Structure 1
Amino acid sequence: MSANPQTIAAHEQILHFPKGGNPKLAPNEWLIWSGNLNKNEDEGANSRLPDLEHGKKNILVPFTWWRSQINSYHHKADVQAKAKAGHIGVWFTADEDILKHADLIEQGKSLWPVVAAYFPIFRDGRSFSTAALLRDRFQWTGEIRAIGDVLIDQLLQGARVGFDSFALRPDQKTDIALKQFDLFTVTTQNSWRGKRSLLEA
């Protein structure tokens, strides 16, 4: 994907690893809108959803933008139409306190086919907690995607806490990524995916 200040870069293929299933690759059909609007321009014009690019069919919008726009007059019909058609999901920043917005997230269960948690840099692990909270506290059963600075090294931990899809950084090699889930045959900790392995004495 070409550089665009209004989007967050991601690999052209998504790694899906559903609970109880096998990891597989699929085309990335989601544009990730950064929502970094130019404050010097008209707020109404800049709050509208961008045109989809690069053949994308769907758009992930910042949760903060969703909160501010879904009840506003500007472009409300466009947003609701796309949401009802399953073409809009939201992404959470690393410092988002999702527990403060429990009611809105509960409503999102029937609206957002995908939610994502953003890694601003691979060393920042706060988004692992976001995925865990969505699975444990909110009982989120839909897709949770890791986006941003997502490296192969993060896949196993991400899959354990609740992520079931990964928009890897564009420079990551998908063939190597797929092999990460075969590295270990024994699980020593309970996780969202199941209980730890029982070892014979």
Structure 2
Amino acid sequence: MQSVIKNGQVLADDWLLLAKEAQLADLPENTDCIVPLALWQAEREALKRRPGALAIWLDADEEVEAIAADLPNFALIALNFPAFTDGRAYSSAALLRQRYGFKGEIRAIGDVLRDQLFAMRRCGFDAFAIRADKDPHDALKGLADFSESYQSAAEQPLPLFRRRALSGRG
């Protein structure tokens, strides 16, 4: 079973991530599943009726706007990084948090490495499925690589100068 970093710890992943070409018949009964966007679009009503929690994953070239009206149906949204150098999912996470107010879990999947975690969290990710050939316990340390951030972000809407002014240290 794969691990996931969530809430500052490495945990066993209880979700089944379906392949991009998955069909409705591929879903096991009573299992929490992360389905690809194409399957959601083709089988929306059947997926909403099945037992178990439902989540969706978007590839880097799939727009958040395609699921905006459906967000209440998902406990989790996974955003795929097809390559370490493809950063489109950062924008998707920020849109989900800031424009659409999504409060559920946003998980990074795919080519996810330690060096990305701090920036991912700032954009709105709160769970990370580290690439299978990397140690998730080592990657967890990446969340503490920096002690402070100057700029505002999804996870901290106030820039440092405003936080300091509010604390009286300004």
Q: Does the pair score TM above 0.5?
A: yes
Cα distance, 1:86 vs structure 2: 4.4
Residue by residue over 1:97-127, the C-alpha shift from the partner in whole angstroms, topping out at 9 and shown as x without a partner, is 222x3xx433332x21111111111111111
SS of residue paired to 1:153: helix
Q: 2:11 aligns with which of 26, 32, 35?
A: 26
Cα distance, 1:81 vs structure 2: 3.1
Partner Cα separation in structure 2 for residue 49 and residue 114 of structure 1: 21
After TM superposition, what 4+ stretches of structure 1 lie above 3 angstroms from structure 2? 198-201
SS of residue paired to 1:146: strand
Equivalent residue number for residue 180 of structure 1: 142
Residue by residue over 1:45-75, the C-alpha shift from the partner in whole angstroms, topping out at 9 and shown as x without a partner, is xx324254xxx9421111121011114xxxx
Residue by residue over 1:4-28, the C-alpha shift from the partner in whole angstroms, topping out at 9 and shown as x without a partner, is xxxxxxxx111014xxxxx112111
Equivalent residue number for residue 55 of structure 2: 89
1:150 maps onto 2:112 in alignment: yes
The AA in structure 2 aligned to 1:170 is A
Partner Cα separation in structure 2 for residue 13 and residue 91 of structure 1: 17
SS of residue paired to 1:189: coil
Q: 1:193 aligns with which of 150, 155, 167?
A: 155
Give the 5 Å matches for 1:2-17. Answer: 12-17=2-7
Give the 5 Å matches for 1:45-124. Answer: 47-52=23-28, 57-71=31-45, 76=46, 79-82=47-50, 85-99=51-65, 101=66, 104-109=67-72, 111-124=73-86
Cα distance, 1:170 vs structure 2: 0.9
RMSD across aligned positions (CA): 2.3
Q: Is the 8 A contact 1:86 1:112 kept in 2?
A: no
Partner Cα separation in structure 1 for residue 118 and residue 53 of structure 2: 28
Q: 1:141 aligns with which of 87, 103, 106?
A: 103
Q: Is the 8 A contact 2:113 2:130 kept in 1?
A: yes
Partner Cα separation in structure 2 for residue 149 and residue 139 of structure 1: 26
Partner Cα separation in structure 2 for residue 183 and residue 48 of structure 1: 41
Identity of aligned residues (%): 31
Normalising by the residue count of structure 2, what TM-score does the alignment of the two structures yield? Answer: 0.85
Q: Is the 8 A contact 2:15 2:32 kept in 1?
A: yes
Residue by residue over 1:26-50, the C-alpha shift from the partner in whole angstroms, topping out at 9 and shown as x without a partner, is 111112111325xxxxxxxxx3242
The AA in structure 2 aligned to 1:27 is A
**CA gap 1:49/1:148 in 2 versus in 1, 3 angstroms:** farther
Partner Cα separation in structure 2 for residue 183 and residue 98 of structure 1: 29
